[in-house]
Chains A and B, each alone.
Chain A
Amino acid sequence: RVSSDGKPPKFQPPPKPVIIDRKTQKEERRFLSPEFIPPRGRTAPLKYYIERKDMIQRRKVLNIPEFYVGHVLAVTTADPFASDKSKRFVGICIQRGGKGLGATFVLRNVIEEQGVEICYELYSPRIQAIEVLKLEKRLDENLTYLRDALPEYSTFDVNMRPVPRMAHEEIPVNKLQVRMKPKPWSKRWERPKYNIKGIKFELPEHKMKAAQKWSQPWLEFDMLREYDTSKIEAKIRKELSEELEK
């Protein structure tokens, strides 16, 4: 190559290689169970630290898998009144509530045309095994509207085989729009406070517009409601990874 001056071109060092650290990126995306994050309040942090120690102890004995609302789980509990002394229930996880040791999750299934919901405590000693049968997230974090949906959306085969997970990467989001039974419903799901995206509303236009009257557009700008958990989460993740490796 000949430059405009007639002198040899200036030495351009090769570009530095950009190192993408896949391991740290993977850790950032790893799942932290929501009951580990302490709620906002005036309780001393020591209480949450001690609760977390107990939770980690229990997790070392019983493997609690990563699951979200919308997964289909099978839970085996100890029951003194059953013939086998153990009971297995399969259902879709509707909601996850509670913090700390009292964390719960509700499983829903329709058995012989009767809807059944059972609320299990994650850290109860009666639970013998939790298996994830089907991994899929839904559009909402709270699937309580399945109570007012057609029963076909809540029925799951009790003897379902676990669906194998493809790669250890993202969990698929099922963009299913559920059809509802005729009104009245247990809650007015069309109202914006529930912010439900997973229902196919077959209501007339004027009713959907009337429901928007109850919208509170100022809520997302309310600064007092902000609860930034990124630093707390990072600390807890570090603590968890250290303790579980022991």
Chain B
Amino acid sequence: MMPIWTKSGEKRAVTLLKVQDCHVLRYVSKEESGGKTAKLLVGGKNVSPFSKPESAHEIFKEAGVPRKQKVTTFNVTDDAIIKPGTPLYAAHFRPGQFVDVTAKTIGKGFQGVMKRWGFKGQPASHGQTKTHRRPGAISTNKAAKVYRGKKMPGKMGNIYRTSFGLKVWRINTKHDIIYVNGSVPGHTNCLVKVRDSKLPTYKDCNKNPPFPTFFADGDEELPEDLFDEEIFQFTDPSVTFA
């Protein structure tokens, strides 16, 4: 995470996400998958092929791509279908866009009810016998049972969570890095899934994105850094208020 400054001098915190060897692996049509839209399987981050059996390498061999650590699905409309084997770059996103980021949260292990669910516990003194961090009562007398989904101690973290509506401030095309506003679930260097935001407020925010994706061998030549309009670029002189 890094600080960036707007043109008016306000500081924002930003997370850096690197797009590392992402390739489209397979196209699954609407009828095949049984869903409402077609799906594209995308894999990211190359990994050694020797730790898995040959049967697991079929998808990668069809696409002509080394074995990837993670394979995810993206629901895609019919006009945005990409040929399997095309690489995906950070320039697929543009500054000013809004994005949802999904990742596995940091695993905290088996945790008690105070840390996991934010219960208040019991006082430290005034006669409490061996009860300081316990849940207390778990149901009423009339119910005569404990409801399903009762908040109790258990394994916390290491589940998929999404942060919605994060603004993209800057894109580095040379190193394939996306600067995304705020924080993102997961530990440093963990695998993360970035999608266009599904929030209704940001439905019309995406003007002229590279559709279906940014092709590196195309005619378009992008500068090394793409900035949002409001961001303060370090090549400019210091901010002054007129």
Q: Which residues of A contact B235 (CB under 8 A)?
A: 57, 61
Contact B238 A44 (CB under 8 A): no
CB distance from B53 to the nearest CB of A (A): 30
Contacts of B177 in A (CB 8 A): 50
With both beta carbons as reference points, the residue of chain A lying nearest to B174 in the complex is identified as A50
The yes or no answer to A126 lying at the interface (CB within 8 A) is yes
Question: Any chain A CB within 8 A of the CB of B89?
Answer: no
| B188 CB within 8 Å of chain A | yes
Task: Determine if A85 and B9 form an interchain contact, defined as CB atoms under 8 angstroms apart.
Answer: no
The count of residues in chain B whose C-beta lies closer than 8 Å to any C-beta of chain A is 22
Query: Known: A61-B235, A61-B236. Contact between A80 and B172, CB under 8 A?
Result: no
A70-104 residues at the B interface, CB under 8 angstroms: 78-80, 85-86, 100-102
List the B side residues contacting A123 at CB < 8 Å: 3, 234
- Is the CB of B242 closer than 8 A to any CB of chain A? yes
Instruction: Indicate the member of A47, A100, A128 with the most B CB atoms within 10 Å.
Output: A47
Interface residues of chain B: helix, strand, loop or mixed (majority): loop
Q: In whole Å, how far is B92's beta carbon from the nearest beta carbon of chain A?
A: 19
Q: Is A124 part of the binding interface, using a Cβ–Cβ cutoff of 8 Å?
A: yes
In the bound complex, residues from chain A placing their C-beta under 8 Å from that of B138 are none
Within 8 A of A (CB), among B1-31: 2-3, 5, 9, 11, 16, 18
In the bound complex, residues from chain A placing their C-beta under 8 Å from that of B93 are none
- Is there contact, CB below 8 Å, between A78 and B175? no
Question: If the complex has contacts A44-B189, A50-B172, are A100 and B2 also in contact, measured as CB distance less than 8 A?
Answer: yes
Residues of A within 8 A of B232 (CB): 125
Query: Which of B11, B175, B242 is in CB contact (< 8 Å) with A124?
Result: B11
Assess A121 versus B11: contact at CB under 8 Å? Given A46-B18, A46-B175, A101-B2.
Answer: yes
| A132 in contact (CB, < 8 A) | no
Q: Is A236 close to B, CB under 8 A?
A: no
Within 8 Å by CB of A128, from B18, B175, B240, B242, lies B240
Q: In the complex, A126 Cα to B3 Cα: how many Å?
A: 14
The answer to whether B11 and A78 have CB atoms under 8 Å apart is no
Is A16 positioned at the interface, with any CB of B under 8 Å from its CB?
no
Q: Is A141 on the interface with B (CB-CB < 8 A)?
A: no
Please tell me which one of the listed residues A54, A80, A126 contacts residue B238 in the complex, with CB atoms under 8 A apart: A126
B237 touches A (CB below 8 Å): yes
B239 touches A (CB below 8 Å): yes
Chain A nearest CB from B181 CB (Å) reads 16
The 4 lowest CB-CB distance pairs between A and B, nearest first, are A57-B234, A80-B241, A126-B9, A125-B239
14 contacts between A and B (CB under 8 A): A46-B175, A50-B172, A50-B175, A57-B234, A61-B234, A78-B9, A78-B240, A102-B2, A121-B3, A124-B11, A125-B9, A125-B238, A126-B238, A128-B238
